[in-house]
Structures are given as structure tokens and as C-alpha cells.
Amino acid sequence: MGLGAEARNRLAKRAAAEIRDGMLVNLGIGIPSLVPNHLRADHQVMFQAENGIVGMGSSPAMGHEDAHLCNAGGLPITIREGASYCDSTLAFGMIRRGLVDVTILGALQVSEYGDLANWIVPGKRVPGMGGAMELAAKAKKVIVLMEHTDKDGISKIMKNCTLPLTAKRCVHKVITELGVFSVTPKGLLLTDLFASTTIEEVKKRTEADVKVSSKLCIVKE
């Protein structure tokens, strides 16, 4: 069972706190696409999509979608004043040149070293990893938003990924419904804990070793 709308927005809101004015930000499909909804209306962030848009806004209200405006996942979007369009080669050029400040992605698995696996779903045919490989390797900061465990209750934050990797040692931060984890040279550090859970539950449901920050922040929900 996936996360409900309230939990999904809680993760998106926490990820939005990592973004600063003046940044160029790329968003993956799923929960990351909710992030713009949690920035102030007058923010100065430019959201970029691989299909050739710079300047995406929040999700449109139901019934106000524009069939000509969508993100790389095909979901409807709005655009902000000053937005621009380009072809996908230029959009990928921005990524490969290292111009993207932050990318916020979903994942199937993340290792305690920051390895990312997010493109193969076991037992299903997929078209390929798309732009995730370039984004994971070239963005200045990689943030993962995902459910803490899979449908079988198995931890998705692992000592070592068992699925094919998208990129090695690329993830800087992981945000799940339990808390926020920073990937450090000494391993995973729990920096934020959502108020509905406990440190004991986090450690029990996480395969990777987790250290707790001495400045742990309790996030009210």
C-alpha cells in the first residue's frame, strides 16, 4: 500500500525546505512533483524538466489543466512568469553541464553509501532509466523522496542495493514517512524525526545502520 495524500505532501513539504531562491531544480515524477505546491507564492526558484521547460509552477487545479503543458512524466503543470521552453537536448545539456542545483527523485532502493537504484521494477517492463542517470551523476545535490519500506515491508534503505544501480554514491539526503536521513562519510545520519514515529521504529525498519544526530529535529505533522 502506498502513502496517502497527507503523507505524500508531508514529504514534499519537507523537501521544499531544502530549496533556496535562485536555484535551478529538477523534479522526478510522483511525490517530487508536489514540491512546488509547498513554496511561497513569490518564490524565485526555477523548476526544470527534461522535456524542455524551465519555470514550472504548482499543479493546476482540477479542470484547469492545459493539454499543452506537462512535465517529463506527462502530468499537467502550470508555468510561472518568465518561464521558457527549449528542446530536450538543451534541457539535458543543462543537466550534463552541472547547472542543476538540486534534483528531487523517487527511488526503489538507496544504500547507506548513497547508491541509488530507481529505474528497474522487478517483474515489469520499463522503457529505461530516462534522465535519472544524468541527474543523479551531475546535479549538485540529490534528494530522494520515497516510502520507507516496499509493499512487503522490506526496508528500501539498505546496506547495499540489490537492484541495478542508477548511479553510485550520489544521494545526499533521503526523506521518508519516518524521517530525514543525511548520507555522510561515516554513514547514514537521522537528522529529522516525524512526530508520529520513534527512533526505535526507524532503526527496526531500516536495514542500513543509522546514527542519530545530537541535534535531532522533531517534525510536527
Residue 50 among the catalytic residues: yes
Contact 101, 59 (CB under 8 A): no
Q: In DSSP terms, which residues pair with 180 in a beta bridge?
A: 175, 192
Q: Which of 50, 112, 134, 147 is an active site residue? A: 50
**Nearest by Cα to 171 from 28, 8, 9, 1:** 28
Which of the residues are catalytic? 50
